[in-house]
């Protein structure tokens, strides 16, 4: 799970929607707590700047492309 800090505008969207409270947000900095993140991928397509990515075994996980929608 990576955040491109050059793109991130700390809008807080990923923090608000993460079901595991894995995003730590403090106004001008944001990070993913690896021990909490379950790599569900939900936050990735909602980032308005495309700043979030998940790579598993060097392959990008793109949840909406794989499921044609949000997970049940």
Task: List residues near ligand SF4 by CB under 6 A.
Answer: 1, 3, 8-14, 18, 20, 22-23, 30, 32, 37-43, 47, 49, 51-52
Count CB neighbours of 43 within 10 A. 25
Closer to ligand SF4 at the Cβ: 33 or 58? 33
**Cα 11 from chain centroid (whole Å):** 12
Q: How far is the CB of 68 from ligand SF4 (least distance, A)?
A: 19
Closer to ligand SF4 at the Cβ: 13 or 64? 13
* Residue 59, strand partner residues: 56
Closer to ligand SF4 at the Cβ: 20 or 64? 20
Tokens of 24: 């730590």
């Amino acid at each position: 799970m990576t955040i491109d800090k050059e793109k991130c505008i700390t809008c807080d969207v990923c923090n608000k929607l993460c079901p595991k409270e894995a995003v730590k947000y403090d106004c001008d900095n944001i990070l993913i707590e690896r021990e909490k993140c379950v790599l569900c991928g939900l936050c990735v397509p909602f980032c308005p700047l495309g700043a979030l990515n998940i790579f598993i075994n060097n392959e990008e996980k793109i949840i909406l492309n794989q499921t044609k929608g949000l997970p049940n």
